[in-house]
Structure formats: C-alpha cells, structure tokens
Amino acid sequence: MAKEKKVDQITDMEVDFAQWYTDVCKKAELIDYSGIKGVFIYRPYGYAIWENIQAILDKMFKESGHQNVYMPLLIPESLLQKEKDHVEGFAPECAWVTFGGQEKLEERLCIRPTSETLFCEHFRDIVHSWRDLPVKYNQWCSVLRWEKTSRPFLRHREFLWQEGHTLHASLEEAMEETENQLDCYADFCENYLAMPVVRGRKTDKEKFSGAERTYTIECMMHDRKALQAGTSHYFGDGFTHAFDIHYTDKNNQLAYPHQTSWGLSTRLIGGIIMTHGDNNGLVLPPKVAPVQVVVIPIAQHKEGVLDKARELADRLKKAGIRVKIDESEQSPGWKFAEYEMKGVPLRLEIGPKDIEKEQCVFARRDNGEKSFVSLSELETVAAELLEKVHQGMFERAKKNLTDHTYDAETLEEAKRLQEENGGFIRTMWCGDLACELKMKDEAGMSSRCMPFGELPIGNKCAICGKPAEKLIYWGVAY
C-alpha cells in the first residue's frame, strides 16, 4: 500500500474505519444519498464497477447453461404466504403496495425482497415432464428489503443483485448445482476481485429462509470483520410441494423436482472497498476497474506531449485495456491524487524527457512502485503489470485473512482473541443452537460457516465441552 497520505478529505481508517469507508464512497464518486432513507444513487463510476462484475458473472452463468429471465416486481400476498418458513423469514423486511392509483387494492402486493415464490409459480406452469428438466434460470434485478439501518453498498433498502433459480430431477443433481454455484462465486471473488474466501455451510440458524442447506463464501475485511459475499441454497422439494410443481418422470410416475437458488449483490463493491482500500482511497482490482490505466501528460503545454499521450492511450485501447487520458488543466499532482482516490490500477506518465528517451513511467496503485518502460514494450508491460497488481492485492488480502484467523479451545479464549485481535475464530462445535446463541451473547460473534476441507482442531465443543465433530468459524460481521 502507498505509505504517504495525499488526500486530506478522507478520515484515516485507523482512526475511524466506518467514517473512512463512507468518505471513500463519496469522494471516489461511487454513490450518493437519495431523498429516501436507505435508498442510494449509484453514480456512473460505482455503477460501472457493477456493470463489469455483471458482465463477467453473466458470461460464467451462461457458460454453465443458465438463461436470463425477468420476473415481476410485485408479489401477491397470497402467493408469498404459500411457503410458511420463507414468508416468516422475510415478513419484517417486506414493503407493501396497497393502492393502485386512487383505488385501494383487494389484495396487498409485496415489492419483491427475493423472487422464489414468483419463480415457483412460473415453474408450475412450464414443468410437466422429465424432459423439461433441468430448468436453470438467472435474473438480474433490484430487490427491496425495509432495513432499519443502512450503509452504502453494504445494507440498502433497495439493492441490485442476481438471483439464480433452478429445478432438477434428483437430489444429487441439485446438490451439484448448489456446490458448483458456490465454487463459481469463490472463483470470481478470488480470480477477479482478488478477495480470498472461506467456503462452507451455514448453520441451521443462519441458513436462508425455506432452505434445507445454505452454503456461503466469507471474506475478511481490512478491519478484520467478516463479509458474507455470496450464498447458494439447496431447497429440496419443500417449495415444489408447496406450489404443486410436479412432473411425470421416466417411469411415468408423479415426481417433485429438487430446487436451488443462489445470489450475489452490490455489497461486493463494499467488500472491494474494505478489502483493498487505503488512506488515499480506493484500490480497485484491475479486472473490474472501470479504468485500468490512466494516462497523465506531464508538461502537456509543450509541443508533442499531448499527441504522444493520445497515441499511447490509443495503443492501449487497441490492446483491450480500459484507458482514460486526463487532458484537463489541473496540475499533475492533483491528477495523481484524484486517480489514486478512484483506485485506478495503473498510472502512465509521459513528458518531454520521456519522449526523448522513448519511454514512459508506470506507477502501480496497489503499492506505489514506479517503473520506466520502453514504448516499444508498452502493451506487453501494461498487461503484465495489471496481472501483478491483481496478484499483489490478492496476496495482501490473503495474508490479512491468514494472520487474523485464530484457533480457540474455550469460549473465554475465543472471546479474548476477538477482543484483542478481531478476525475469524475457529473452534469445535457440538451443533447445539444453545451454544451458538451463547457465543453470540457472550463473545459478540455470529457463526460464519462450517468450512469445507479443513481438519478438526480437537474433539470438544469450545462452548459446552461436550463431544464435537464440527469445525466452525466465528466472527463479527457486516
């Protein structure tokens, strides 16, 4: 990370992390407040990050056989009531439409908090035979949840997301879908956002309303708090029975399909900010950055400088790199600080002396390193540096995760480690809800997940001391 702070308008993250985060969101022109509490305006720069996230994920979804659809915004109350556990889980967050024009509606309409019930109603009409399966749909949309508190990107009343909904003939196929989509999210976070993840299963207390199993990827932020970055759910046939979605199988018998859903939202942008940012602003992963290279002409009033800067920008664009050239009258120092604030991965400087030497200067946003590059190698070196920026960001984030994951054998030790260090605390757990609630009440940590592929660290529950086979991560979460 850059050591010298250049932007006075940002609160130091070490002084007040929450205020630092809000300052970055505003000063980097990612988001703004609207006239409705909890409903935000995505500014062009912030929305461009989401567009890049969306484009990459959409391609991944389609490559695995999913199709995009769009469901209605409004859900009749009678439809929402068909799945008891589901509606109870979302009831406190539902917003209702009761009037259409001047007329009071005969039935309340819920503004979608999620779309399971709408998809189920549609699936009932289109699935009749085993030949109709699997159904693999995805929807890009906004949803509304009437949250009591809000923070930019992390907790909106209205937010943008994608929600996948699929039907399968067997439990095995549905579970494969559930796990594959979790892997898809993990791959995206690590290989595109440079955010290392912990993959695992949620406890029954923390699983999605109406699901039989919920899987999650958990990330650690710079302040050592957890962020749930994406979830994938196996519903079994509970929804399909509730909505009477059935088909004739290969043996000409009546059967009910197995269902999944999975989702990821704009809270990922908040995760990017809190994983990689520093006291000079954003540090954006190159693969989703709206601008990957900003070209800054030095002494641009001198003959030939602007022409050369434009030429280099054009060469990079033709090489498939997202480029901006700043020809404004602001000083180079102002421009440096501005694009550091906006997290542009690479800065290219070109001035009269550089032109004479047939070279330019590249500066990395992630660590501030500068290098002189021959203009004949411009495109090759730019691509290599962008990959090095991604790798450097991932390695720092991975170190933060590794260095601040601790093992504890007792509740008292887990509480002490969290108070002293923050981060993730790993313990053994007996599986009892009472122990999960006790950890929350006494240590202030919620269960994050039961991780995949990690060896146990003992055989006794850290909370009650009884025999335990489950390894679990605890943490303070956003």
pLDDT of residue 3: 47
Q: Report the mean per-residue pLDDT for the chain.
A: 96
Q: Do 267 and 313 lie in a common domain?
A: no
pLDDT of residue 56: 98
Average pLDDT over residues 130-143: 98
Q: Quick check: is 189 in a domain?
A: yes
| 346: pLDDT strictly greater than 60 | yes
184 domain-assigned: yes
Say what angle helices 44-63 and 171-192 make with each other, to 10 degrees.
140
Distance in angstroms (rounded) separating the CA atoms of residues 130 and 451: 34
Q: What amino acid is encoded at 18 in this protein?
A: A
Res 376 pLDDT > 70: yes
pLDDT at 4: 54
Can you read off the two tokens belonging to residue 136? 């693999």
Q: Are residues 86 and 38 in the same domain?
A: yes
Per DSSP, the chain holds a count of helices (H) and strands (E) of 14, 23
The confidence score (pLDDT) of residue 52 equals 98
> pLDDT confidence of 8, banded at 50, 70, 90?
low
Query: What pLDDT does residue 398 have?
Result: 98
Q: Are strands 346-350 and 359-364 parallel, antiparallel or unpaired?
A: antiparallel
Report the alpha-carbon distance of residue 341 to residue 1 in Å, rounded: 13
Percent of the chain that is helix, strand, coil (3-state, to 5): 35, 30, 35
Q: Confirm if 360 and 373 have CB atoms less than 8 A apart.
A: yes
Is residue 162 domain-shared with residue 79, that is, in the same domain?
yes
Q: Check whether 1 has a pLDDT greater than 70.
A: no
* Shared-domain flag, residues 303 and 208: no
| pLDDT at residue 6 is higher than 70 | no
pLDDT reading at 241 higher than 70: yes
How many other β-carbons are positioned within 10 Å of the β-carbon of residue 329?
7
The answer to whether 459 touches 432, Cβ cutoff 8 Å, is no
Report if residue 398 sits inside a domain. no
pLDDT band at 5 (very low <50, low <70, confident <90, very high): low
Q: Nearest 5°: phi and psi at 80?
A: -65, -30
Residues 216 and 314 in one domain: no
Residue 217 β-bridge partners: 199, 230
pLDDT in tens, 447-459: 999 999 999 999 9
Helix axes 378-403, 305-318, angle to 10 degrees: 70
Residue 284 lies in a domain: no
The answer to whether residue 372 scores a pLDDT higher than 80 is yes
Which of 354, 385, 416 finishes a domain? Answer: 385
For position 100, what pLDDT does the model report? Answer: 96
Please write the tens of the pLDDT for every residue from 280-300: 999 999 999 999 999 999 999
The verdict on 222 and 248 lying in the same domain is yes
Is residue 245, in this structure, part of any structural domain at all? yes
pLDDT for the residue 115 = 95
Count structural domains, the chain: 3
Do 196 and 58 belong to one domain? yes
Looking at the structure, tell me whether residues 369 and 425 fall in a common domain: no
Model confidence, pTM: 0.94
Question: Per DSSP, what are the bridge partners of residue 403?
Answer: none
CA nearest to 9, candidates 30, 35, 28: 28
Q: What is the predicted pLDDT for the residue at 2?
A: 45
pLDDT of residue 210: 87
Is residue 222 domain-shared with residue 325, that is, in the same domain?
A: no
Residue 101, sorted as left (phi over 0), alpha (psi -120 to 50) or beta, turns out to be: left
Q: Is residue 262 a part of any domain in this protein?
A: yes
Domain containing residue 448: 405-475
Q: Are residues 272 and 297 in the same domain?
A: no
Q: Give the domain CATH number at 425.
A: 3.30.110.30
pLDDT, residue 273, reads: 98
Is residue 326 a contact partner of residue 293, using CB atoms and an 8 Å limit?
A: no
Tens digits of residue pLDDT in 417-464: 999 999 999 999 999 999 999 999 999 999 999 999 999 999 999 999
Decide the pairing of beta strands 158-168 and 258-265: antiparallel
Using DSSP's 3-state secondary structure scheme, residue 259 falls into strand
What gap in Å lies between CA 137 and CA 338, rounded to an integer?
Answer: 41
The pLDDT tens digits of the residues spanning 66-115 come to: 999 999 999 999 998 887 666 677 778 899 999 999 999 999 999 999 99
In sequence order, what are the beta bridge partners of 360? 373
CATH code for the domain of 141:
3.30.930.10
